[in-house]
Every structure is written in C-alpha cells, then in structure tokens.
Structure 1
Amino acid sequence: MTTVEVLGCNATAPGRTGAASSYLVREEATAVLVDAGPGSLLSFARTHDLSELSGIVVTHLHADHSLDLMAWAYRWTFPDVLPRIPLYVPAEEMGRLERFDELFGIPTLPTMVSPIRSAFDVRGLELDSRTPVGIGSWTITPHRALHSVPSAALRFAGADGVVCFSSDTGPCRGVVDAATGADVFVCESTVLAADDDVIHGHGHLTPELAAGIASEAGARHLVLTHFARPEEAQEMGRIASRHFDGPVTVAREGATVSVDAR
C-alpha cells in the first residue's frame, strides 16, 4: 500500500496548528521524507523510528521547507552516527546547502564538523532535464516549478501508483506535467486570494488555481496544503471542491492519505 502522511502543512514556522511543510510518502519498505520544515523531526519522531527512513527530498531551500535539515543532521550524527541516506535538493542550490554546514558545524565533535555531509549522501535534482532519481522502490522525477528560488515539483512513481508534490509554485507547465494522471496530488494552496505579483511573480497558488491544475493534469485526488493562515484551510477545501470533480482533502498534521488501487 502507498500512503502519504502529513507531518506538517503550515506555510510558516510551527505554531498552534503544528509543523511547517513536511510529508512522509511510503510504499512498502521505502519511506521518503519530502521537505523538512520546522517541526518535522519532532512530528516524525512521535510515531516513527529513524531507521524507517530511506531518503529525503527537499523541494526547495526556503526555511519553511528546509530549516529542520540541520535538526535531522544533528540527530543523525549525535549521540550515535546512523547509516547515511540520500538527500536530494535542486542541483542549483547545492552551494546554499553547503552553507548550512558552515554555519552550524561543530568543529570539536568529529562527526559534526559538517553535519549534513556526514549524515547524508547529498545529491542534486536536475530540474530542466527532468532526470529521474531512485530511492528504494520509488522513481522520482523532478519538474521545475514557478517560484522565487529553484523549486522542484516531484512525481513519485511506484508499483501501486503515482504521488505528486507541487512544491511552492505558481501555475506552470512543470507542475501540470508532474501531476499528470497522479493518484494523489499534494498541492500548495497558500492563500485564499492573491494578486499577480504573488501568483506569477513570487509563485504561490490559491485553492481555485490548485483545483485548476489538478483538473488539467487529470489527477484523481487533490490534497491541499501549505496554508499561510491555517484557519482558512477548510474554506479553501470548499472552494477547491467547486472547481475539481474528484475528492479534495484538506491536509492536517498527522493525517494519512492512501493511494486507492486502480
């Protein structure tokens, strides 16, 4: 069975509604963390063991999607050093990722001089070539999203179906391609309404736009996430349902969405 567990769905730092963007996508023995927003490690550790994790893929390096990478790396290298797992980020952001270690490395602890490099086998996602990568049973194809920094919409293809994550994005061909025919499409719905600068400049979606992309892509199940104001999430679900014929789920921390067999 393939499942997507919501570890965090806020578009900001953790608050009363829980952690920022982070998801656990699982197929049989392969579990992959998608994004590592603030609070993601705590959310994961409540119900999972670190040994379950097969790899990490970060869609982009804005803090609400990546700030907990250092928390994960610290835990991976102290007090015990755990076996390295792959960590994928957009290839264009490899230099910025290296600065995490420069800022937070601990020279007096040999395993933590460069925590991220010690904990993870760091690899780049090529967004323009859409070159697939593999983690366990998953084939993961990145597509370039429309955002203010290099941002990867992710298509996870496995034996039981296809799961897509939009990343942060405005409307663009890359996200439609990533979500084409997806069984579950986890799509950002940051704000109820926005002007052109937010949508096409910075790159964010409203629930109506998220539903439009899901419809164009022929996705089967839309999961809305990445809420700037979590108190608006249920209203976003109602709006999306008016523009998308399939089931619409509003993400909440701890919720699990299953991929239904075709």
Structure 2
Amino acid sequence: MNLTVIGCTGSFAGPDSPASSYLLTGTDHDGRVWHVLMDMGNGSLGSLQRHIDLHELDAVIISHLHPDHCVDLAGLHVAVKWDPRGWPGDRIPVWAPKGTHEYLAAAQAMEADPGMSTEFIFNEWQDEVQVQIGPFRVTPYRVNHPVEDPYALRVEYDGGQGRSVLTYSGDTDSCEGLVRAARDADLFLCEAAYQEGRDEYRDVHLTGLRAGQAAQEAEVDELMLTHIPVWNSPTKAVIEAASAYDGPIALAQPATTFRIVADSERLAGRAVNGRVGAREG
C-alpha cells in the first residue's frame, strides 16, 4: 500500500503542513484502486484535493474526536452535500469513535437528525474488532489519551501490491494497546508530540523516547515520527527515539508518498513521488 502524508503537524495546523491526515491507497486483487483517508484534521481537506478528487474517497477512518484529527470532516460534508454539479458517488462510509455524528453536527450548528447521515454512513469502532474496507483490514486498539474512545489503528493490506502492515498511533501516551496494535508492523507511524522533561504532561502524548520504546517493544520494521508541534524540534524527537529503538527512523513529511511493503522488499521511508522523506535509498 501507499501512504501519502496529507498533514502531520501536531495539535494544530502549522505554516508548512495541515494537522493530522494520511491517505492510504491500495489495489485489490481485482485491480480496483481504493482510497481510504485516515484522520482529517485542520487544513487537510484543501491539501487532500491536490492528490485525489474527493469523489474518489472510499472511506474515512478517524482515530479520535479532537479537532486536529477530525474537524475537516465537517468541510467534506459541505463538499458532498452542496456541490452544484451533484455528488457522483454514494454516501461515504466513516468509521470513527462513538458520538462522531453528533460531534460534527454540533460543529456545523446542525440538528443530529438527519444531520450528516444523508452524506455519510457512520460506523462506530469497537475495541479490537476488525473492519474490512476493500483490501484493507483495520483493527482499532484503545490507547491512552484524554478523550473518550481514543484508538490506534492497525491497517493490514492484502491486495495486488502484496501484503503489508501499517500501524498508526493516533494520539496516545505509552500503553499496552499501542504496543499490541504495532506488533511486527512494517511501518509504525507514531506521534511524538512531547519532549522528555515535560513529565507533568503524562497520559496525553508520547515523546520521541517513548515512541522509540514502543517501537522496540513491538519489534516494528521501521518507525516514522509524526504529530510534532511547531514549537518542538523534529531532530530532537529522532534523537530521543534512536536512544530506545535500533531500527530505521524517518520523519513524516507533508505532500510525500511512501510505499509500504513487507520484509526485505520494504521501502517505507523512501518517497515515490513528492518531496523526499527523511531517509533516502
């Protein structure tokens, strides 16, 4: 599968990147190309349209209900409902935590009935219950973040491009659910919003060190750090992670596409189009 970083700045959109949003693209065994958007934070809707037409979206999957991970779904609803040319596709399936429909309706000052249900099909995650979306099998794992029903998402791809596993941390501090979600992943896309020395902020976000510790315990093939706020040093996050994890480490880069494949053929961390990522060749 391919991972395109739509946005990766932590907690709010930055000058160079929207907030969290990642496009997964993969071909099934019949040759059909699927597009699944993973999180849709502030600013992501505009950047997404540089990569695909909105009607190509097959599903949106949301890790948790903080605005920097989901609020641009409200904008997507406007694009679907009010396009004067008419929306060419069906309702868009949305997999997300409980209460997402009500949350988004409130953001648009709408009544929840019917709210956005005429444009979206809302489905609620259940902890560790798998969902099949085309060639992607997605399993949510409850993690450690101060919002109701936060999840890490494990995405297992089986299609025309082979097999591969991506785990996305969502937002979390260290916890068992994160390690279970990341076990043996080909790429671990993991937040590192904090830096060591801010221990008064536990049970909210990972540091680079704690992301590295989770990657090492889960025995992932490669770690990619993301969700780094504008006031933190990406270099320091990588140094912290490298003190705990002995595998390759990359940084998520906006408008960059990475191919994720398994084992010896793994190319995660190498850009296939757009800007070059943190590790080349």
| TM-score greater than 0.5 by the shorter chain | yes
Q: Give the gaps of 5 or more residues in structure 1.
A: none
Matched, 1:5 2:4: yes
User: Could you tell which deviates more after superposition, 35-44 or 79-88?
Assistant: 79-88
Matched, 1:44 2:48: yes
Q: Which residue of 2 aligns with 1:151?
A: 150
- Structure-2 change in CA distance of 1:240 and 1:102 (3 Å): closer
Counterparts in 2 of 1:88-127, with a 5 A limit?
88-91=95-98, 94=99, 97-104=101-108, 114=114, 116-127=116-127
- TM-score, normalising length from structure 2? 0.83
What is the distance in 2 between the residues matched to 1:14 and 1:105? 23
Counterparts in 2 of 1:11-30, with a 5 A limit?
11-28=10-27, 29-30=33-34
- 1:73–1:115 Cα contact (<8 Å) kept: no
Can you list the C-alpha shifts for 1:149-190, whole angstroms capped at 9, x where unaligned? Answer: 120111111121111001100100101000000001100000
* Secondary structure, counterpart of 2:216 in structure 1: helix
Identity level (%): 32
Alignment RMSD (CA, Å): 2.0
Residue 231 of structure 1, CA deviation? 5.3
Residue 15 of structure 1, CA deviation? 2.6
Can you list the C-alpha shifts for 1:186-222, whole angstroms capped at 9, x where unaligned? Answer: 000002225444222xx21000100110010011011
Q: Give the counterpart of 1:61 among 53, 59, 65.
A: 65
- 2:93–2:121 Cα contact (<8 Å) kept: yes
AA aligned to 1:176 is: V
Q: Give the counterpart of 2:135 among 131, 134, 137.
A: 137
Q: Which residue of 1 aligns with 2:174?
A: 171
- 1:208–1:239 Cα contact (<8 Å) kept: yes
- Structure-2 change in CA distance of 1:76 and 1:261 (3 Å): same
- 1:225–1:251 Cα contact (<8 Å) kept: yes
Higher helix share: 1
Query: How many matched pairs?
Result: 250
What is the distance in 2 between the residues matched to 1:121 and 1:105? 19
AA aligned to 1:239 is: E
What is the distance in 2 between the residues matched to 1:212 and 1:73? 39
- TM-score, normalising length from structure 1? 0.89
